[in-house]
Amino acid sequence: MEFSDSGRRLGWLGAAAWTAVSISLVLIFFVARTAQSAMGGELQRIFYFHVPAAWVAYLAFAIVFMSSIAYLRTNDRRWDILANSSAELGVVFLALVLITGPIWAHPVWGTWWQWDARLTSTLVTWLTYVGYLFIRNLTTDRRRGGRLAAVVGIIGLVNIPIVHFSVYWWRTLHPTGPTPANPTANSGLGTPELAAFFTSLAAFTLLFAWLLAMRARLGRLEDRADELEMGVVSGRRREAVVRARQVVTT
């Protein structure tokens, strides 16, 4: 019962996510106006993917941080599964950021990569969470792997602001974009563009939520499959032990 319920909720979430993605694609490509050539012209539309992906990645790492703390406190596997699922997605979305950035930057800045503050801190964050994913694969025991990864998940997030400050002082040239508090800051974006941007932001967030729920469910099913398998092995042994007991008592 519980199973089909959660499946149905997932279905609704998926439908909502893909609807939002479709709407945002229409807004991005047909409603938002082409930017000035100084901002990349048509290529500027990459911004509608780049920034939401970055937002989702950092949201994912915040979830990793909170579920890691919860896992260390409660020892409940579900938190660990959530942390791992979120970290995997965070790494994928941040990779998307690191790929879309240079595609835009090459014609606009004239270089694929700049050692700018945001680029650098994004790269450093990405490397940290790649390390997080490594840890699990290098341990045989799931619980131990989870505990070690949780430590990295906590350290990783705590370090983001320090990395950011240090590289910011070091150098910066990244354009600062609009925020909900100040939607038109430094951007030259009008209403259609802002509509496209915030729809895309919502679409990415929903898409992330759906993927996260799917991935976490997969993790729980893996655990369940292991439990069932161990139950079968344990049952076989029980029979062997019953026989052995008869030998001992006779």
Partner 1 sequence: MIEIQNLSVFFGRTIALDHVDLELAPGIVGLFGQNASGKSTLLRVLGGLLPPTSGAVTWEGAPIGSAGEEQRARIGFAGHGSGLYLKLAIRENLILFARLYGVPVTRVDDVMEILGLGPRSSTLVGELSAGLKRRAGVARALLHEPDLLLLDEPYAHLDDEASESVSLAVRSWRAPGRTAVIATHGAKRIKQFTDSRVVLQRGRVITHLSAEALSARAQV
Partner 2 sequence: MRAGGPGFVGKTWALVVKDVKLELRARDTLPPMVAFAGAVAVLLAFSIPSSGNLSAPVRIVAGSAPLTDVLAGFLWVTVLFAGLIGFARTFEVEREEAAIDSLLMAPLDRSGLFFGKAIPNLLFIVLVEAILIPLFAILFGIDLGGSWAVLASVALLADLGFVAVGTLFSALAAQTSSRELILPILALPVLVPVFIAAVVLTSDLFAGSSLDEVARRGWFAILVAFDVIFITAGALLFEFTVE
* Binding stretches for partner 2 (CB under 8 A): 72, 120, 124-125, 127-128, 130-131, 134-135, 138-140, 144, 147-148, 150-152, 154-156, 158-159, 162-163, 165-167, 169-170
Tally of CB atoms within 10 A around 62? 14
| Binding flag, residue 241, partner 1 (CB under 8 A) | yes
Of 118-126, 149-157, 173-181, 238-246, the window that binds partner 1 (rule: CB under 8 A) is 238-246
Q: How far is the CB of 129 from partner 2 (least distance, A)?
A: 9
| Binding flag, residue 250, partner 1 (CB under 8 A) | no
Query: What tokens were used for 18?
Result: 């893909």
CA 129 to chain centre: 10
| Binding flag, residue 138, partner 1 (CB under 8 A) | no
One of 106, 142, 217, 220 touching partner 1 (CB under 8 A): 142
Interior CA angle at 51 toward 211 and 175, to 5°?
A: 165
One of 75, 111, 176, 186 touching partner 1 (CB under 8 A): 75
Compute the distance between CA of residue 75 and CA of residue 80 in angstroms, rounded to an integer.
8
Choose between 135 and 203: whose C-beta lies nearer to partner 2: 135
Rg (CA), the chain: 23
H helix intervals, the chain: 2-26, 47-74, 77-109, 117-137, 142-170, 191-249
Q: How far is the CB of 219 from partner 1 (least distance, A)?
A: 16
Compute the distance between CA of residue 133 and CA of residue 43 in angstroms, rounded to an integer.
33
Q: Which does 229 bind (CB under 5 to 8 A by kind): partner 1, partner 2, none?
A: partner 1
Residues in the chain: 250
Of 13-21, 56-64, 160-168, 228-236, the window that binds partner 1 (rule: CB under 8 A) is 228-236
Closest of 88, 24, 15, 18 to residue 57, by C-alpha: 88
| Binding flag, residue 237, partner 1 (CB under 8 A) | yes
One of 36, 137, 140, 250 touching partner 1 (CB under 8 A): 140
Choose between 135 and 206: whose C-beta lies nearer to partner 2: 135
Query: What tokens were used for 207?
Result: 């898409």
